[in-house]
Amino acid sequence: MTRLHGTQPQRTRPHGFLLLDSLASVDAEAWDGLLHATAPNAPNAPLAPAAPPCLRHAYLDALERSGCVGPGTGWQPRHASLWQDGELIAALPLYLKQHSYGEYVFDWAWAQAYARHGLSYYPKWLAAVPFTPIPGPRLLGRNRAARQALLRGVLETVAASGLSSFHLLFPQADEAALLAEAGLMIREGVQFHWQNRIEGGPYADFDAFLASLNHDKRKKIRQERRRAAAHGLRLRWHDGHDATAADWAFLHRCYAMTYALHRSTPYLGPAFFARLAQRLPDGVRLLIAERAGEPVAAAFFLHDGAALYGRYWGALEPLPFLHFELCYYQAIEYCIAHGLQRFEGGAQGEHKLSRGLLPVRTFSAHWIADPRFRSAVDDYLARERSGIGFYLDELAERAPFRRPSAPG
pLDDT, residue 404, reads 60
How far is 296 from 257, CA to CA, in rounded Å?
12
Q: What is the pLDDT of residue 149?
A: 97
CA dist 178 and 115 (Å) reads: 31
Query: DSSP secondary-structure letter at 183?
Result: T
When comparing pLDDT for 14 and 97, which is higher?
97
- The 3-state DSSP class for residue 392 equals helix
Task: Quickly state the pLDDT bin for 41 (edges 50, 70, 90).
Answer: very low
Q: What is the CATH number of domain 197-340?
A: 3.40.630.30
Residue 315's contacts (CB-CB under 8 Å, 6 or more residues apart) are 254, 257, 289, 296, 297, 298, 322, 323
pLDDT of 135 reads 96
What is the DSSP track for 156-176?
A: HHHHHHT-SEEEEES--HHHH
Distance CA 217, CA 396 (A): 15
Q: Are 310 and 327 in contact (CB under 8 A)?
A: yes
Can you give the residue ranges of every domain in the chain?
3-191+361-395, 197-340
Whether 332 and 197 have beta carbons less than 8 Å apart is answered as no
Are 91 and 31 within 8 A, CB to CB?
yes
Nearest Cα neighbor of 39 from 120, 144, 130, 132 is 144
Write down the pTM of the prediction.
Answer: 0.93
In CATH terms, 3-191+361-395 corresponds, of 3.40.630.30, 3.20.20.105, 3.40.50.2300, 3.10.450.30, to 3.40.630.30
**Per-residue model confidence as pLDDT tens digits over 91-138:** 999 999 999 999 999 999 999 999 999 999 999 999 999 999 999 999
Q: Is 197-340 the same fold as 3-191+361-395?
A: yes
pLDDT tens, residue by residue, 394-405: 999 999 998 764
Q: What distance, in Å, lies between the first and last C-alpha atoms of the chain?
A: 67
Determine the Cα–Cα distance for residues 61 and 376; give it in Å rounded to an integer.
37
136, 344 in Cβ contact below 8 A?
no
**Residue 403 or 251, more confident:** 251
Sign of CA dihedral 271, 275, 280, 281: positive
- The conformational region for residue 86 under phi > 0 = left, psi -120 to 50 = alpha, else beta, is left
